[in-house]
Structure 1
Amino acid sequence: MLHTINKSPFENNAMETCIRFLQPGDPLLFIEDGVYAVQGGNRFSGLLENTMKNNPVYVLQPDLAARGISAVVEGVAQIDYDGFVELVEDHQVNSWL
């Protein structure tokens, strides 16, 4: 199952709740304001690094660019809209609001 996060973890606990329910191998995708979670060196970096031991983590690159974020946690894969579509085609989606 593909899990999407579109809210900033600095304003909402959706990311932390989602991570508790991830099954090994489930991809996690950050979009919209959710991309603030993957900005390098923030307080969520360790949680993401731990999550990536069992789950692939993606971020939508156009949303990073729109927010001026250039440095992301190492190991987070940046994807474009085509990559987003591929993930959605390959997985059932659970959006965390």
Structure 2
Amino acid sequence: MQVANVAGFENRVVYNAAKIYSNHLRRGEYNPEIRPIIALTIMDFLMFPKIDKLITNFVFKEKSENVEYTKEQMGFVFVELPKFKKNLSELETLTDK
């Protein structure tokens, strides 16, 4: 959980995900069956104020054709807690709860 939006936070999320992904291999080893990773980041601040969703899910895609590059080998999921506005009595889905 990240409480404060500090300088370089976005880069640190990518760095940590890439480090975990690359740690699946040993030096000189190639394995096409490398396990996918999902970087889950829960934040107590707004990182994507223009997106009106509590949970955002990012993957690598080609910009103009929207074709996924990594075949879901690396994904980034962000939960922005300030966007959660439901009261206890309004919780319906498993995600809400």
User: TM-score by structure 1 length?
Assistant: 0.35
Question: By percentage of residues, which structure has more helix?
Answer: 1
The higher relative CO (CA closer than 8 Å, separation ≥ 6) is in 1
